[in-house]
A = this chain, B = another copy of it.
């Protein structure tokens, strides 16, 4: 059976999964959590085989760490599932209820999106997290994990799928795709997959975006900026910048570029240089910015065109004339992910927050707060830099759409066109 045939079958089943009552989906999630706990050893054994293969093929130690699925990761995903069960049902909410005319009532009701394709590299816990988010929101999911954790993924998928089906969800509610070649087959299913969620490196996400007509939710780059305004508290600025860069440098919400108001630069940059040197952060700066660091830190001279997403303990520094130039720079060079202003001036902050066109616009705090858990959304499927549909950290709300339900008693449009009847348009 081809991927397409499987997905077409899933598409037929999707309306039935979408129609299951909340209790049934929550019961299935509880069953999944119990099964994962009971069969943990099976998963750990599979993961040990994946790790051994990775070590043998000389995979970098930092990546091997991300492949690991141990007792600690298990506890995390189980806590995540329990939290999901407690969250309200995102489907079936009435968001509009309007009488169009006597006996003709319009409702807008949230419903699952349908069939979601999830393609991720490494991190087998993502498989658990995203498949359970999909089930909670009544969506069918096609899952393609990274080949480095093929054994772990297969074990996790088997346990989750079987527990969900035993709890009464349709057989075809979850599907695993294993061969790498099948990714392209999945990307071509634009008539039966409603949304793709890729999780992985920039190059990986960009490949997905460039090779499908299916809407893609996610971000390829995360070039986040911090702008240090003329009216900044310099100590606060250093503290926030060091956290935003060093707390987890490989994250998409880590800061990559620091912009400094020209008037503040001579006093601020020596302070920043000292803080960055102490935190072992590498500095790349334009000539005129670098010159102001003095003896405080080492720096490499680069052009703005060489600024990039480092995903390690390095950042770029540039000067700007004023707030307007800072906003224009962020909008032109950033990823529309998360950008921050450091200032004590309310008016400057307000202007920055209005003019910067990003999913997250911050003042006086670390860009690392851009995360579904920190926002209090529970688990997240990812962070979106798209302008339409979901933006920023995406939880259950991003996995639903809506439909308009209209009930009448033989109402016809001809009666309104001829003036025989008129609309009342009364919200109920």
User: Contact residues of A with B, CB < 8 Å?
Assistant: 11-12, 14-16, 18-19, 98, 100, 104, 106, 108, 113-114, 194-195, 209-210, 213, 215, 217, 233, 236, 239-240, 243-244, 247-248, 327-328, 331-332, 349, 351, 353-366, 368-370, 374-376, 386-393, 401-414, 416-417, 423, 425
Contact = CB atoms under 8 A, between A and B. Distances in A.
B407 A363 contact: yes
Contacts of A248: 413
B412 A239 contact: yes
Assembly stoichiometry (copies): 2
Given A243-B413, A247-B412, A423-B374, A404 B359 contact: yes
Nearest to A388: B389
A410 B374 CA distance: 16
A116 to B, nearest CB: 10
Contacts of A417: 247
Given A12-B332, A14-B357, A369-B406, 13 more contacts: A11-B331, A15-B331, A18-B354, A104-B369, A215-B215, A239-B412, A243-B414, A361-B403, A365-B409, A370-B404, A374-B416, A374-B423, A391-B402
Given A15-B356, A114-B357, A405-B361, A375 B412 contact: no
Contact of A405 (B98, B209, B353, B414): B353
Q: Determine chain A's interface SS by DSSP, over half rule.
A: mixed
A375 B351 CA distance: 37
Contacts of A12: 328, 331-332
Given A114-B387, A387-B194, A404-B361, A413 B215 contact: no
A208 to B, nearest CB: 12
Contacts of A366: 408, 411-414
